[in-house]
Structure 1
């Protein structure tokens, strides 16, 4: 597939959630290295130490944080070209009947409700110019068309399947206005969530999300990706 990419993001603005560590930290660094003005979302802005990024307080479960973060971007830059919904959690390892339902609700709040609320507030900025991008960090565990939905982690799986639904909705509703929305599996990555046994580095996990953030107007949208290849939902 021949996809046109920005070689430089100079003059563009990005917001990355969960940017303090792991994959989100590397994505924020990558986008800044490409020239973007990067707002790094964090529950504690003091955790963002990179001089090339602008810290913004952002707990995606807190309505006020979400709206305020978008307002800050609007007031300071007047535009948003890239939204990377990276923040996520994965508690509750057992099957559905064994998990603490408070953990289920917390997972849905972080992994699905948060990205949805961010998109609601960010869409007016993303649609200002054709080619605004939404990159949703998903997982291979969210591929509901496979026969591999067993194995526990119901809250994580269901929230990420929902994130795929959000991605498909954004494409169907807004692609004609120029929005490019995609979901991506970074693979099993050595992060606080993935653990030390994971085979992939955070740098490898951030590679395809960064690539998706570079799509030029008219690029593929409404799809699920891994390693720069389209995968089935």
Structure 2
């Protein structure tokens, strides 16, 4: 039995993945952004081990989820499912002065990865729209450009692939992969989405717990349990490192190396998580 945390799992694919894993006999902790949604989630999935509450729209909220997750004990796998969609009509700024979409879609999985006790497996939810993403970080917060929700979303989903691959390279003892679940009829995908909704949660659940040889890999991008093509940029270590370094600068927390020690620099206050 695996101990699994799924972020953004009060509805949609996260909730479906949770139900699927519970049906397979695994211990699953879900996550909701507020108390009301958590209460609804507990009622919908009473077999869940717990429902953690945190709003991932701020760095403090992300840190609070990491602390709550660590207090719950080490997880064998984390599915980073939480995300905002491509229909955002305008740039929303967080209390940290950052793009809300970037914060939820990229900084949340990054910072949770850095701060949580290291699991055996990490699964990052991406999208087919990642193939239209741009890895350029010169205005990743959309402070200077005219806002485009679809492009900002595509960029964020490419960043999630870069995050998965970068962590796989820096932490070779962890299976770190990304998944595109397909364009399915969730609240984010819309009613007219053409892909099979029942298949939407299968691959991320499989990567989190399966002992199938095909699931015991790292630094791969999947669609329906098959390795899927992503741009050559996603495999470029320099591009991966640029994103990881950028996220470290924004959060004050860096993911580096493979040794299990932690330290704090005396000049910038940046916490460095070694392994």
- Normalised TM-score (structure 1): 0.79
Contact 1:15–1:84 (CA under 8 A) maintained in structure 2? yes
Aligned partners of 1:152, 1:60: CA distance in 2, in Å? 19
- Pick from 76, 101, 112: which aligns with 2:106? 112
196-205 vs 180-189, which deviates more?
A: 196-205
Q: How does 1:1-233 map to 2 (within 5 A)?
A: 10=1, 12-44=2-34, 45-48=38-41, 49=43, 50-53=45-48, 54-76=50-72, 78-92=73-87, 100-102=90-92, 105-122=99-116, 124-126=117-119, 132-143=120-131, 153-175=150-172, 178-216=173-211, 219-233=216-230
Aligned partners of 1:23, 1:88: CA distance in 2, in Å? 11
Structure 1 stretches of 5 or more lacking a match? 1-9, 94-98, 127-131, 146-150
Contact 1:17–1:58 (CA under 8 A) maintained in structure 2? no
- Normalised TM-score (structure 2): 0.68
The higher radius of gyration belongs to 2
Structure 2 stretches of 5 or more lacking a match? 134-147, 231-275
Aligned residues, how many? 205
Aligned partners of 2:66, 2:26: CA distance in 1, in Å? 16
* Larger relative contact order (CA 8 Å, sep ≥ 6): 1
Contact 2:86–2:149 (CA under 8 A) maintained in structure 1? no
Aligned partners of 1:39, 1:64: CA distance in 2, in Å? 20
Q: CA RMSD in A?
A: 2.5
Aligned partners of 2:62, 2:159: CA distance in 1, in Å? 19
Contact 2:132–2:151 (CA under 8 A) maintained in structure 1? no
Contact 1:138–1:160 (CA under 8 A) maintained in structure 2? yes
193-202 vs 106-115, which deviates more?
A: 193-202
How many Å apart are 1:91 and its aligned residue?
3.7
